[in-house]
């Protein structure tokens, strides 16, 4: 079976996403990196679903897409508000919770 | 025949078993009056009268039932003896009659009051009816004793009723006089500011007295004894706004405390001597059987005598009784003449075996009880001569008559003593209520010399009843006092042919003297009050019917009650039915005495009546009365308003003058008590207290103060500053530095948080993969 290839792809995608989340300073790019992570998960779900001849994997993938859409909505709203208040979307500057 | 008897007994026993109702009704009435009395139209008096009436009806029914039972047992015995002669069936009858019951044995009902210890053998809660003559009381204790399991014995105290001739007699007397006094009081204390309170206390007193009368254990007796004392205190001080009255109440209470110590010690001795039993029955039986040594009984009896001396006004603790006349007159009649003060006499009768054996009354010539009684009746009688206050005369007369009862009991004349208690209650209540009526007419004064005289014309009913009471008290035949006084004198066993329990010569002389004196001082009181010319200010008036009707009833009783105990010879001479002879003796006596009649060592003997003694005693009384009468008659002829000779014998002969002075100062006993004893202890006690205060108490206080200051300094310096503050500061700075440490982690950088999150997730995944 060719499950491994999908899993590798997903792992690489996940790593890129994580890297993006951790290193990018632009808020929008952080959100996009999160999308990459979620899609890595979607690939895994679909691959396992196909591998096990079961529809639940694909159904879950659909749910994740829906949740990801919602998450992006919320996330972009936050970024927009930060921009409005600080004229910048640099997440490194949004540090008013510093102890 | 036996079935019928049994059924009859069952019907009768309802009254016996429910005798507790008799004290319970006035007790309930007390509570009702206290809580609701003031809102009622008659301010609570109606509740009191209703409750006491109900108690009176019950008491009368019980009395008649008791009399019927005694009569039946007499008939049965006579019948049995007749049948014995004939045949076999007859023997069975005799056996049943003899085994079945001791005539007049007490009927005891007991309920456990409270108990401590194992309840295996304890009599359980609930009424346990004991029939005639069966062992009563602590059944658990009996079992334990029989089987020798002392450790299983539960300590339990029972409360109960004891119905026998003596208590039934008292039930009748107390409820009867209490009822009359209630009715009388509605008029006498009308408009009083504490009218409701007064009636509440009358109810409480009646309840307490009945409770004491019915007591089946010494503990219950003590409780009742103290309760009546409290009521007496409350009623003597009824008008406490005047200092004299509250002083008199305190004096009565404190003097009684002196005797109560004797009561407590005596009862404690008896409790341990009788194998830890409070049961009067057990104590009496053991005293009779010789299970308690004579020495122990003697000490116990002496202690109890102290209680009798205080409660029943015996010399030298009688001083409170005349002062107790500060209370309202109906109270004096009920409590300080007819009922409460005879509690001591009643207690002697209830524990008679203890005294009889303890003092060795059988075959004696003198003992403590007879001596104290004799001293009291003469000493009290003498004091009655010098009083100006009508109530005080009656008070000392009460002291004297109480001495008579104690004297009788001390000589072994059990029935005579209790019979005198019975008759005295009626005529003395009559006299007191009469005095109250007089005072009601004379604007609340009791001063015979200043405010009275010639009252017979103004208040004929009061005069007539007072005369009957006086004649009964003086012992003139055929009134009540004659019969009881005669029996007491006969009981001394001195007069030829009387054969008493011993030869009590000195008490007999005291008794004869008192008989003469009683007539003399009562003649004086009657003359000063009712004869001569009126010396008061305004016109006196006869009292209203609520006062005179009780007087008439009591006077009637003072005439008739003496006939309850006529000697056999007298009854035979008059050809009356034999059941009239010694009826009172048959009703009352067996309870106290039947148990030890059989015992040879302490044989109880009845004295035989003597006609010559009766004639001599009556002659003495009449003679003494006549002398006093003559004295006042001659005085009146000289000066109608005079009450004494200005230059009489007492002022001319030094010896008599001294005697008069001693009497006027009441033998200096009050001086002794307040001046010497109280004063003598007060000074040194105060000085000792002051010294103790200055040196010991203040020293302790100062030491404590200084010590606490230095302890405080130490605590401040080392413990507060060092330990407590140190701990607080240390925890503060620890928290602060730890916070500084953690502060670095809170960078506010979302990416840093995300790094930590992913790092942690990686670690967890590693753990899941490699550890599981």
Q: For residues B87-103, give the mean pLDDT.
A: 41
> What integer pLDDT is reported at residue A80 of this predicted model?
93
Closest CA of chain A from B751, distance in Å: 5
Judging contacts by C-beta atoms under 8 Å, the chain B residues touching residue A20 are none
> What integer pLDDT is reported at residue B75 of this predicted model?
67
Instruction: Copy the structure tokens of residue B396.
Output: 């000392």
pTM: 0.71
The pLDDT-based confidence of B649 (bands split at 50, 70, 90) is: low
Judging contacts by C-beta atoms under 8 Å, the chain B residues touching residue A91 are 749-751
> What integer pLDDT is reported at residue B140 of this predicted model?
37
> What integer pLDDT is reported at residue B56 of this predicted model?
92
Note whether residue B594 is domain-resident. yes
Flag the least confident range among B250-254, B702-706, B743-747: B743-747
Q: For residues B523-547, give the mean pLDDT.
A: 82
Higher-pLDDT residue of A87 and B571 is: A87
Flag the least confident range among B127-131, B385-389, B516-520, B626-630: B127-131
The pLDDT-based confidence of B88 (bands split at 50, 70, 90) is: very low
The pLDDT-based confidence of B157 (bands split at 50, 70, 90) is: confident
Q: What is the ipTM of this complex?
A: 0.84
Judging contacts by C-beta atoms under 8 Å, the chain A residues touching residue B746 are 97-99
Note whether residue B299 is domain-resident. no
- CA dist B272 and B269 (Å) reads 5
Instruction: Copy the structure tokens of residue B611.
Output: 């006609």
- Locate all alpha helices (DSSP H) within B385-504, ordered by sequence: 390-410, 414-441, 448-451, 460-474, 480-491
Note whether residue B391 is domain-resident. no
Instruction: Copy the structure tokens of residue B155.
Output: 């300590």
Of A29-38, B571-580, B677-686, give the range with the top mean pLDDT. A29-38
Closest CB from B742, B746, B755 relative to A97: B746
> What integer pLDDT is reported at residue B69 of this predicted model?
78
Angle at CA of residue B598, ends B591 and B369, nearest 5°? 60
> What integer pLDDT is reported at residue B38 of this predicted model?
79
> What integer pLDDT is reported at residue B413 of this predicted model?
81
At residue B595, does pLDDT exceed 80?
no
What tens digit of pLDDT does each residue of B186-217 get? Answer: 888 888 888 888 888 889 999 999 999 988 88
Cβ–Cβ below 8 Å for A99 and B745: yes
How high is the mean pLDDT of chain B?
80
What tens digit of pLDDT does each residue of B280-293 get? Answer: 888 887 887 777 88
Cβ–Cβ below 8 Å for B754 and A22: yes
Is the Cβ of A95 closer than 8 Å to some Cβ of chain B? yes
> What integer pLDDT is reported at residue B116 of this predicted model?
66
The pLDDT-based confidence of B320 (bands split at 50, 70, 90) is: confident
At residue B301, does pLDDT exceed 80?
yes
- CA dist B528 and B21 (Å) reads 45
Note whether residue B538 is domain-resident. yes
- What is the number of alpha carbons within 13 Å of residue B501 lying toward its C-beta? 31
State which residue of chain A sits closest to B754, comparing Cα positions: A22
Of A7-16, B492-501, B615-624, give the range with the top mean pLDDT. A7-16
Closest CA of chain B from A1, distance in Å: 23
What tens digit of pLDDT does each residue of B396-423 get? Answer: 999 999 998 998 888 888 888 888 999 9
At residue B89, does pLDDT exceed 60?
no
- What is the number of alpha carbons within 13 Å of residue B716 lying toward its C-beta? 6
Q: For residues B310-319, give the mean pLDDT.
A: 86
Instruction: Copy the structure tokens of residue B520.
Output: 């003399």
User: Which of B57, B54, B34 lies closest to B44 in space, CA to CA?
Assistant: B34
Higher-pLDDT residue of A32 and B682 is: A32
Closest CA of chain A from B762, distance in Å: 12
Is the Cβ of A21 closer than 8 Å to some Cβ of chain B? yes
The pLDDT-based confidence of B589 (bands split at 50, 70, 90) is: low
Closest CB from B746, B747, B758 relative to A18: B758
**Contact, B548 vs B436, CB < 8 A?**
no
At residue B132, does pLDDT exceed 50?
no
Note whether residue B287 is domain-resident. no
The pLDDT-based confidence of B148 (bands split at 50, 70, 90) is: very low
- CA dist B622 and B599 (Å) reads 41
Distance of CA B423 to the CA centre of its chain: 17
The pLDDT-based confidence of A71 (bands split at 50, 70, 90) is: very high
- CA dist B720 and B737 (Å) reads 24
Domain with residues A3-86, CATH architecture: Orthogonal Bundle (1.10)
At residue B223, does pLDDT exceed 60?
yes
Q: Give me the percent of chain B exceeding a pLDDT of 90.
A: 11
Flag the least confident range among A16-20, B209-213, B486-490, B552-556: B486-490
Interface mutation vs chain B, best among A89, A92, A93, A94, most B CBs within 10 Å: A92
Q: For residues A62-76, give the mean pLDDT.
A: 94
Instruction: Copy the structure tokens of residue B590.
Output: 């067996």
Q: For residues A35-56, give the mean pLDDT.
A: 92
Cβ–Cβ below 8 Å for A99 and B749: no
> What integer pLDDT is reported at residue B87 of this predicted model?
40
Interface mutation vs chain A, best among B743, B747, B760, B761, most A CBs within 10 Å: B747
> What integer pLDDT is reported at residue B531 of this predicted model?
83
Is the Cβ of B755 closer than 8 Å to some Cβ of chain A? yes
What residue ranges do the domains of chain A occupy? 3-86
Higher-pLDDT residue of B1 and B553 is: B553
What tens digit of pLDDT does each residue of B177-192 get? Answer: 999 999 888 888 888 8
What tens digit of pLDDT does each residue of B10-40 get? Answer: 556 777 878 888 888 899 999 888 888 778 7
What tens digit of pLDDT does each residue of A18-34 get? Answer: 999 989 889 899 999 99
Judging contacts by C-beta atoms under 8 Å, the chain A residues touching residue B748 are 94-99
> What integer pLDDT is reported at residue B646 of this predicted model?
64
Is the Cβ of B746 closer than 8 Å to some Cβ of chain A? yes
The pLDDT-based confidence of B115 (bands split at 50, 70, 90) is: low
Flag the least confident range among B191-200, B636-645, B719-728: B636-645
State which residue of chain B sits closest to A25, comparing Cα positions: B751
The pLDDT-based confidence of A45 (bands split at 50, 70, 90) is: very high
Q: Give me the percent of chain B exceeding a pLDDT of 70.
A: 85
Closest CA of chain A from B710, distance in Å: 49
Judging contacts by C-beta atoms under 8 Å, the chain B residues touching residue A93 are none
Residue whose entry in the numeric block shows the structure tokens 């210890």:
B117
> What integer pLDDT is reported at residue A72 of this predicted model?
93
> What integer pLDDT is reported at residue B93 of this predicted model?
35
Q: For residues B741-746, give the mean pLDDT.
A: 84
Number of domains comprising chain B: 1
> What integer pLDDT is reported at residue A43 of this predicted model?
94
User: How many inter-chain contacts (A to B, CB under 8 Å) are there?
Assistant: 35
- The helix/strand/coil state of B326 is helix
- End-to-end alpha carbon distance in chain A: 52
- The helix/strand/coil state of B159 is strand
> What integer pLDDT is reported at residue B103 of this predicted model?
59
Residue range(s) defining the domain that contains residue B536: 410-644
For the stretch A27-34, contacts whose Cβ atoms lie closer than 8 Å and that sit 24 or more positions apart, written own/partner, are A27/A78, A27/A79, A27/A82, A27/A83, A27/A89, A27/A90, A27/A91, A28/A76, A28/A79, A28/A89, A30/A91, A30/B750, A30/B751, A31/A72, A31/A75, A31/A76, A31/A79, A34/A71, A34/A75
Higher-pLDDT residue of B428 and B145 is: B428
Distance of CA B300 to the CA centre of its chain: 18
Residues 6+ apart with CB under 8 A from B110: B123, B128, B136, B137, B158, B159, B160, B216, B217
- The helix/strand/coil state of A90 is strand
Closest CA of chain B from A21, distance in Å: 7
At residue B710, does pLDDT exceed 90?
yes
The pLDDT-based confidence of B477 (bands split at 50, 70, 90) is: confident
User: Which of B14, B96, B363, B338 lies closest to B206 in space, CA to CA?
Assistant: B338
């Amino acid at each position: 079976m060719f499950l491994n290839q999908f899993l590798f792809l997903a792992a690489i995608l996940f790593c890129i996403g994580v890297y993006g989340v951790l290193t990018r300073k632009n808020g929008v790019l952080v959100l996009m990196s999160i999308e990459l992570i979620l899609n890595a998960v979607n690939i895994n779900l679909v691959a396992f679903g196909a591998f096990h001849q079961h529809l639940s994997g694909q159904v879950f993938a659909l749910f994740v897409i829906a949740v990801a859409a919602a998450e992006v909505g919320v996330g972009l709203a936050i970024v927009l508000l930060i921009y409005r208040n600080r004229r910048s979307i640099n997440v490194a500057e949004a540090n008013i919770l510093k102890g | 025949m036996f079935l019928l008897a049994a059924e009859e007994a069952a019907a009768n026993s309802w009254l016996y078993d429910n005798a507790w109702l008799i004290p319970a009704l006035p007790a309930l009435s007390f509570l009702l009056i206290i809580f609701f009395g003031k809102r009622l139209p008659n301010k609570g008096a109606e509740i009191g009268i209703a409750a006491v009436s109900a108690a009176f009806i019950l008491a009368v029914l019980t009395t008649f039932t008791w009399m019927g039972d005694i009569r039946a047992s007499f008939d049965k015995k006579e019948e049995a003896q007749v049948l014995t002669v004939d045949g076999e069936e007859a023997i069975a009858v005799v056996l049943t009659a003899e085994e079945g019951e001791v005539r007049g044995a007490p009927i005891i009902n007991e309920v456990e009051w409270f108990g401590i210890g194992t309840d295996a053998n304890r009599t359980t809660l609930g009424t346990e009816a004991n029939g005639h003559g069966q062992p009563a009381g602590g059944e658990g204790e009996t079992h334990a004793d029989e089987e020798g399991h002392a450790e299983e014995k539960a300590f339990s105290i029972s409360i109960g009723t004891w119905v026998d001739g003596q208590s039934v007699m008292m039930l009748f007397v107390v409820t009867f006089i209490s009822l009359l006094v209630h009715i009388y009081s509605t008029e006498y204390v009308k408009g009083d500011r504490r009218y409701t309170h007064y009636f509440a206390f009358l109810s409480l007193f009646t309840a307490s007295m009945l409770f004491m009368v019915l007591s089946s254990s010494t503990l219950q007796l003590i409780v009742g004894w103290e309760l009546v004392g409290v009521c007496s205190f409350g009623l003597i001080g009824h008008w406490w706004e005047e200092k004299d009255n509250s002083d008199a109440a305190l004096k009565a209470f404190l003097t009684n405390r002196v005797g109560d110590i004797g009561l407590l010690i005596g009862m404690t001795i008896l409790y341990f001597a009788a194998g830890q039993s409070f049961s009067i029955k057990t104590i009496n039986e053991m005293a009779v059987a010789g299970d308690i040594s004579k020495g122990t009984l003697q000490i116990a009896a002496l202690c109890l005598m102290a209680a009798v001396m205080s409660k029943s006004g015996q010399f030298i603790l009688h001083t409170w009784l005349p002062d107790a006349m500060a209370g309202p007159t109906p109270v004096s009649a009920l409590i300080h003449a007819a009922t409460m003060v005879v509690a001591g006499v009643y207690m002697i009768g209830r524990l008679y075996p203890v005294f009889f054996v303890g003092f060795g009354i059988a075959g004696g010539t003198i003992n403590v009880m007879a001596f104290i009684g004799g001293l009291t009746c003469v000493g009290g009688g003498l004091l009655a001569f010098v009083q100006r206050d009508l109530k005080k005369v009656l008070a000392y007369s009460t002291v004297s008559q109480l001495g008579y009862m104690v004297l009788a009991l001390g000589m072994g004349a059990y029935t005579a003593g209790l019979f005198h208690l019975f008759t005295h209650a009626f005529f003395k209540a009559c006299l007191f209520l009469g005095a109250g009526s007089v005072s009601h007419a004379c604007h609340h004064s009791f001063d015979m010399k200043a405010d009275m005289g010639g009252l017979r014309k103004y208040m004929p009913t009061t005069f007539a009843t007072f005369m009957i009471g006086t004649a009964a008290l003086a012992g003139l035949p055929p009134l009540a006092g004659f019969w009881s006084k005669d029996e007491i004198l006969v009981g001394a066993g001195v007069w030829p042919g009387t054969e008493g329990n011993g030869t009590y010569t000195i008490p007999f002389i005291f008794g004869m003297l008192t008989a003469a004196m009683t007539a003399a001082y009562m003649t004086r009181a009657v003359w000063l009050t009712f004869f001569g010319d009126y010396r008061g200010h305004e016109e006196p008036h006869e009292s209203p019917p609520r006062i005179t009707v009780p007087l008439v009833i009591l006077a009637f009783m003072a005439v008739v009650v003496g006939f309850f105990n006529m000697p056999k010879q007298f009854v035979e001479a008059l050809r009356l039915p034999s059941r009239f002879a010694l009826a009172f003796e048959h009703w009352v006596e067996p309870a106290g005495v039947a148990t030890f009649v059989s015992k040879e060592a302490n044989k109880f003997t009845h004295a035989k009546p003597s006609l010559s003694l009766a004639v001599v005693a009556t002659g003495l009384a009449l003679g003494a009365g006549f002398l006093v009468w003559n004295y006042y008659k001659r005085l009146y002829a000289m000066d109608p308003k005079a009450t004494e000779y200005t230059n009489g014998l007492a002022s001319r002969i030094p010896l008599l003058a001294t005697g008069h002075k001693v009497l006027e100062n009441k033998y200096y006993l009050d001086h002794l008590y307040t001046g010497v004893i109280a004063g003598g202890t007060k000074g040194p006690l105060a000085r000792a207290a002051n010294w103790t205060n200055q040196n010991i108490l203040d020293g302790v206080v100062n030491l404590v103060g200084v010590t606490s200051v230095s302890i405080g300094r130490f605590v401040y310096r080392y413990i507060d500053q060092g330990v407590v503050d140190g701990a607080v500061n240390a925890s503060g700075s620890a928290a602060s530095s730890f916070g500084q440490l953690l502060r670095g982690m809170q960078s506010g950088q979302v990416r840093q948080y995300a790094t930590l999150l992913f790092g942690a997730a990686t670690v967890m995944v590693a753990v899941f993969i490699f550890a599981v």
